Amino acid sequence: MTQASADDAGARGQIRHNRRNRDLTGRHVLITGASSGIGRAAAVAVAAKGATVFLLARRGDELATVVEEIRAAGGSAYGYQCDVTDSDSVDHTVKTILDEHGHVDMLVNNAGRSIRRAIHRSTDRLHDFERTMAVNYFGALRMTLALLPQMRERKFGHVVQISSAGVQVATPRFAAYLASKAALDKFTEVAAVETMADDVTFTTIHMPLVRTPMITPSGDQGPSESPEWAAATIVRALTERPKRIDVPIGTFAEYGALLTPKLRDRILHRYYRALPDSPAAKGEVTDTEDDAEPVATSPEPRQSSTARRATGAVLRRAARWVPGTHW
């Protein structure tokens, strides 16, 4: 056996060892939208698990700050300014990373844009749908397709797609955002089937509402999770590599759509009427874009009794103990 063959065999043995132990130590993990919100928290959490993290975002200054934070804590991180909506930018960045570091083991497609606006306010705003597709669907596709060849060649790779519980719920006022995430969900479902023999796997995370700067223009939308909670979920996706990670509200809504679709629609219509469009959706405030992922969940009633509020709090705490459907 030549030295090269011995090295390849050793590398494959290490990969199998890591796969059995679900260890991120030494893994090369690329995270898009890593300058703030979920992406930033995920980069910090993944680096703390021993991975080398490649952070991508458009905002170079903020990106550098996160890289410095990770390195100061003893982690390994590299920042690359990149616009996932630009093919040349993605191709140049991926080539640079592969030239400098050899390979990428895992990809987290986190960069995204969300728009919360009723369809009747969007009839003259086709660009709302085009902009969300450009980032959430085509941006994630650019990154996945750019890294897939070297993953297939190495016979190892894992891709985490940050989707939305709203895809399962069909949350009103998020038609543009959820359509782009639904497209990504279906692409991922097909890709996972085709790449099984290549040992390239995919996890779709249907995130609930997460407290990031991107949700600020939309106003109060109900209970939400922290970026740190979302980051822990991403770490779970990278280490355990399930097919999907859902939360209870998405799972219940999905079953509801199958078993009682008309009742589900009536409930969502009441929700739609209960929460009006935000000032941003009415054109009173400029849309805000960020590299993190929000999703709308069912809100608490705006006016409720003390008993109802207490009951709601108990139910929300209980729901947090249910991890959702996890395959």
State how far the alpha carbon of 149 is from the alpha carbons of 119, 137, 228, in Å.
39, 19, 32
HSE, side-chain direction, 13 A CA sphere, residue 71: 11
3-319 CATH pick, 3.30.450.20, 3.90.1150.10, 3.40.50.720, 3.40.50.620:
3.40.50.720
* pTM score: 0.78
List, by residue number, the catalytic residues: 177
Contacts of 35 (CB under 8 A, 6+ apart): 55, 57, 58, 59, 62, 63, 66, 291
Handedness of CA 90, 96, 102, 107 (dihedral sign): negative
**Residue spans per domain, the chain:** 3-319
Q: Is the pLDDT of residue 257 over 70?
A: yes
Q: pLDDT-derived band of residue 276, with 50, 70 and 90 as boundaries?
A: confident
Residue of 117 and 297 predicted with greater confidence = 117
Q: How far apart are CA 14 and CA 17, in angstroms?
A: 5
Give the tens place of pLDDT for each residue, 183-202: 999 999 999 999 999 999 99
Q: 118: buried, middle or exposed (CB in 10 Å: 19+, 13-18, 0-12)? A: middle
Q: How far apart are CA 89 and CA 128, in angstroms?
A: 23
Give the tens place of pLDDT for each residue, 302-322: 444 566 566 555 555 554 444
CB contact at 8 A, 106 and 158? yes
State how far the alpha carbon of 247 is from the alpha carbons of 7, 56, 164, 242, in Å.
42, 27, 10, 14
Q: pLDDT-derived band of residue 295, with 50, 70 and 90 as boundaries?
A: very low
CB atoms inside a 10 Å sphere around CB 184: 25
